[in-house]
C-alpha cells in the first residue's frame, strides 16, 4: 500500500464512476445488489470459519506472515506498509468481551450475528483515518482476502478507535469468501455428463465452467459487503469498498450526510497499471 505524504491540498475525492461494461461480466452489480439485508439472514447460511492465526498468501501462493511480523515497505501488489511500531496482530483490534470470545468457539455463526447486532460504544469519537486496503488472494473472489487487518501508518490502528475486534473482522472476511465460493450444487452442475466420457475434455470443460461460475459470484459478495456496511461499519463511521482495478463496485453510501474519505489517485491509482483487474478491499472513514 502506498501512503501519501501529508499535504495542505489533500481533500476527499470521489472515484469516477466505472465504465458501463460490467466488471463482473454480468449485469451491473451496483444496480442489482438491492437494499442491505437483515443481519438475521445470516442464520440461513453455513457458519463462516474463523481463523485465529492469520497468514497472508501472496499471488505466487507463498505463505507470508501478517504485516506486523514483516519489516519494511511493500508495493501496491503486496500489502502496503507495515504499521510502524506495531506489536502482535491482536494489537490491531479493539479488545473483545470474554462472552464474545467464548461464543466464537461454540458457534461461529452466532458470533457473526453478535457482531452485526452490537451497537458501537457511545464514548468513542471515531477519528478520521486515511484509506487502507487489502489485495485479494486470487483472481476471483473465491480465494477471499488475507485474514489480517489492512496495513496502515495510523497509530493506534483505526480498528481500535472504531470498535472493530478480531472476531468482527475475521467473521466479515469469512462470510465474504463463502459468498464468492462455489457451492456443492455449483460443482455438481459443472460436471457435464455428455462430455465427461473423454477424461481430459471432461476435466477441462468442468474447470472452465467452474471458473465462469466463480466470476459470477461478485454480486453475492457485494450483498455481504452492503449488509455489513449497513449494520456494522457505517454506525462506526467506516465503510468498506470493493474495487476491481480502478473501478468501484459498491453503491453510493446511503448514510445521511456521509462524507467518505475515498481513496485518491495519489494514494492508489498511480501504482495500478491501466487494465489492472485485481480486486482490492478498501476501508474508508466517514465524517
- At 78 the pLDDT is 32
Structural domain spans, the chain: 29-181+217-285
The pLDDT tens digits for 212-223 are 445 566 788 999
CA-nearest of 219, 125, 127, 111 to 169 is 111
pLDDT at 226: 94
**What's the confidence (pLDDT) of residue 34?**
60
Low-confidence ranges of the chain (pLDDT < 70): 1-108, 182-217, 252-272
What was the pLDDT predicted at 62?
41
- pLDDT of 107 reads 53
Q: Is the pTM of this model over 0.95?
A: no
Contact 132, 201 (CB under 8 A): no
Whether the Cβ atoms of residue 151 and residue 81 lie closer than 8 Å to each other: yes
Amino acid at each position: 500500500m502506498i501512503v501519501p505524504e501529508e499535504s495542505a491540498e489533500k481533500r476527499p475525492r470521489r472515484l469516477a464512476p466505472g465504465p458501463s461494461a460490467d466488471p463482473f461480466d454480468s449485469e451491473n452489480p451496483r444496480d442489482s445488489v438491492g437494499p442491505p439485508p437483515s443481519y438475521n439472514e445470516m442464520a440461513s447460511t453455513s457458519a463462516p470459519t474463523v481463523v485465529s492465526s492469520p497468514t497472508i498468501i501472496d499471488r505466487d501462493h507463498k505463505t507470508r506472515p501478517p504485516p506486523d511480523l514483516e519489516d519494511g515497505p511493500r508495493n501496491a501488489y503486496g500489502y502496503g506498509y507495515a504499521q510502524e511500531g506495531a506489536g502482535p496482530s491482536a494489537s490491531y483490534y479493539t479488545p473483545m468481551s470474554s462472552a464474545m470470545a467464548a461464543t466464537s468457539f461454540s458457534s461461529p455463526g452466532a458470533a457473526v450475528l453478535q457482531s452485526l447486532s452490537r451497537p458501537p460504544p457511545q464514548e468513542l469519537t471515531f477519528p478520521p483515518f486515511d484509506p487502507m486496503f487489502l489485495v485479494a488472494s486470487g483472481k476471483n473472489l473465491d480465494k477471499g482476502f488475507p485474514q489480517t487487518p489492512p496495513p496502515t501508518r495510523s497509530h493506534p490502528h483505526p480498528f481500535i478507535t472504531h470498535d472493530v475486534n478480531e472476531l468482527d473482522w475475521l467473521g466479515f472476511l469469512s462470510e465474504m469468501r463463502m459468498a464468492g465460493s462455489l457451492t456443492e450444487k455449483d460443482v455438481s452442475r459443472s460436471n457435464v455428463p455428455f462430455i465427461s466420457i473423454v477424461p481430459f475434455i471432461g476435466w477441462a470443460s468442468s474447470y472452465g465452467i467452474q471458473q465462469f461460475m466463480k466470476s459470477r459470484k461478485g454480486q453475492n459478495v457485494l450483498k455481504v459487503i452492503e449488509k455489513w456496511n449497513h449494520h456494522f461499519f457505517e454506525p462506526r463511521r467506516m465503510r468498506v469498498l470493493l474495487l476491481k482495478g480502478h473501478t468501484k463496485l459498491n453503491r453510493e453510501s446511503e448514510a445521511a450526510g456521509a462524507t467518505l474519505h475515498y481513496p485518491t489517485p495519489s494514494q492508489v491509482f498511480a501504482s495500478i497499471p491501466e487494465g489492472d483487474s485485481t480486486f482490492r478491499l478498501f476501508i474508508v472513514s466517514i465524517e
